[in-house]
Structure 1
Amino acid sequence: MAEHRIQHGEATLFARTDGVDDPTAPTILFANSLGTDLSIWDDVLPRLPDSLRIVRFDKRGHGRSSVPPAPYAMGKLISDAEAVCDALEVRDAVVVGLSIGGIIAQGLAVKRHDIVRAIVLSNTAAKIGTRATWDERIATVRTQGLDGLVDAVMERWFSRPFRESPEIERWRALFLSTPPEGYIGCCAAISHTDFYTPTAALRLPTLGIAGSEDGATPPDLVRETTDLVPGSKFELMRGVGHIPCVEQPEAYARLLTRFLTDIAHP
């Protein structure tokens, strides 16, 4: 394991590499969701093939990355991901993006064919929500902080049994620890993004993953985006919400491993 800090414009991006310590090894890049950090993948990593190089990073405004002033543009978030990949010599990678991380994955796949060999679109879409919805969420954070959203967010993120378990406290605390400026910045980026046309032009191995209890990106929305890419595959995970890698890491890792095997990576 190694930790990295990468300067990109006004942002300092925190990244971590695990697994094989060799940039030429088969690589998987993870991009996490809004209001979380790279720890959402912690329980998935040990269940993946040990021949992989694994790269994770915190997008600007989240986790251990710096918090430039909001708003952010999706193009800037994508170029941040590029900067991480270039600094860490990531090439021909499978990019796994969850929620906003999935939007970043789509943009990176369109822009950098040398970096992205295949994508996993997890609990995401080419367009998520409406501008009015995101503006309302931004206004709530500005007036009430993240406390004004946390209960509704937990309902979208997790199934009822998980919400009623002691584990929920860790993820509730993680959400509340997100810098409000970073959260607002990324909300603004999502609100202005519609990737239907560029994503429909992609021609690369693609797997879509949805959660049956996902209140943020329902299964039909994830399937609609996945189906934009010819030859793509779609998997529905039962009994999980918006962050299935947390609720069912073993099942999630199995889906990833099967996809990696199907495309011979590694």
Structure 2
Amino acid sequence: MPQPLIIDGTRLHFRTDGDPAHPCLVLCNSLGTDLSMWGAQADALASSLFVVRVDTRGHGQSGTGDAPFGIDRLGRDVIALLDHLQVERAAVCGVSMGGLVGQWLGIHHPQRLTKLVLANTAARIGSAEGWQARAALVRSEGMDAVADGAAARWFTPAFIEREAATVARMVDRLRAQNALGYAACCEALAQADLRAGVAAITVPTLVIAGEHDPVTTVDDGRWLQQQIAGASLAAVAASHISNVEQPQQFTALLHAFLLQ
């Protein structure tokens, strides 16, 4: 395992799987999750790719650092991680907030990317007022205030019933998140609006949308696909965290796109 990465005194936790000589794939988690959300994809792809999973700043075992910060800080963390691993170029796949990080990288650092996968995301997610209210809520009441309703935002009712243990494990991890780190990322999302920039993305891009996603809809995914020249769109029968709800379909899409 490579040495830990410290950025301006803040620890960025990550995990690598596979051979560093293989093409690199960086996986960026969604708000309130950690790098464990990518277990199925890492297991399936590590034989062909050098898979790098990162706990986004403020999540999992990564530090929060100075707040407030924006999506640009989260994107620069990925660039610092690539430098740390001595990876010149990598594919990046992100879900939701991680997809916004991917968009920022595609706009500002296309020379570091080979391909881009934007899953269950949009160029603008929610409203500034909504994110600021959520940040204030967890700062005052802690993570229970958002964890109790998370399953319904993340997964379809059928998946919640069928995979109760998986859902419970992810909700427990959300409940254990650092409230200040979560709030700081909510405040970053409040300011994140990439609608004016995504048309500049030239990296080969796959957009993945969840057919039952109430947060970032298929229409949001279609808008991204229409803005990014040459991008393709795939819909999966899932809600917001589609790589967990439909791991085989999601991984097959990644495999076909990244290794073709």
- Check the 8 A contact 1:208/1:234 in 2, yes or no: yes
Shift of 1:145: 1.3
2:13 match: secondary structure: strand
| Secondary structure, aligned partner of 1:44 | helix
- Show the counterpart of 2:15: 16
Find the counterpart in structure 2 of residue 252 from structure 1: 250
* Matching of residues 91-106 of structure 1 within 5 Å: 91-106=88-103
Counterpart for residue 218 of structure 1: 217
In the TM superposition, what is the alpha-carbon distance from 1:4 to its structure 2 partner?
A: 4.0
Residue 67 (structure 1) aligned to one of 64, 80, 105: 64
The residue aligned with 1:32 is: 29
Aligned-pair CA distance for 1:3 = 4.9
Superposed displacement of residue 49, structure 1? 6.3
Answer 1 or 2: which has greater helix percent. 2
1:24-80 deviation per Cα after TM superposition (whole angstroms, max 9, x unaligned): x21111111110111000012222262211111111111111122432222211111
Deviation at 1:143, TM superposition (A): 2.3
Runs of 4+ in 1 over 3 A off after TM superposition: none
How much has 1:218 moved relative to structure 2?
1.5
Indicate the SS of the match to 1:36: coil
Preserved CA contact (<8 Å) 2:110 2:202: no
What is the one-letter code of the residue matched to 1:217?
Answer: T
Aligned identity (percent) is 36
1:108-165 deviation line (CA, Å, top 9, x unaligned):
1222233211100001111111111111111211222111112332211111122222
What SS class does the counterpart of residue 114 from structure 1 fall into?
A: helix
124, 127, 146: which one aligns with 2:124: 127
Letter matched to residue 209 of structure 1: I
Instruction: Quote how far apart the aligned CAs of 1:236 are.
Output: 0.5
Q: Which of 135, 155, 158 is the equivalent residue of 2:155? A: 158
**TM-score, with structure 1 as normaliser:** 0.92
**Conservation of the 8 A alpha-carbon contact between 1:4 and 1:16:** no
What residue in structure 1 maps to residue 50 of structure 2? 53
**Aligned match of 1:167:** 166
Deviation at 1:200, TM superposition (A): 0.8
The 1:152/1:115 distance shift into structure 2, 3 A limit, reads same
SS at match of 2:47: coil
> Following the alignment from structure 1 to structure 2, what is the Cα–Cα distance between the partners of residues 229 and 153?
31
1:69–1:185 CA contact under 8 A, matched in 2 = no
RMSD: 1.5
Instruction: Name the CA distance, whole Å, in 1 between partners of 2:23 and 2:171.
Output: 34
Aligned-partner Cα distance in 1 for 2:137–2:251 = 35
Which residue does 1:199 correspond to in 2? 198
Cα distance between partner residues in 1 of 2:235 and 2:31: 21
Aligned mates of 1:89, 1:20 — CA distance in 2? 13
Q: Secondary structure of the equivalent of 1:208?
A: strand
Confirm or deny: 8 A CA contact 1:145 1:180 kept in the other structure: yes
**Matched-pair contact (CA < 8 Å) for 1:128–1:217:** yes
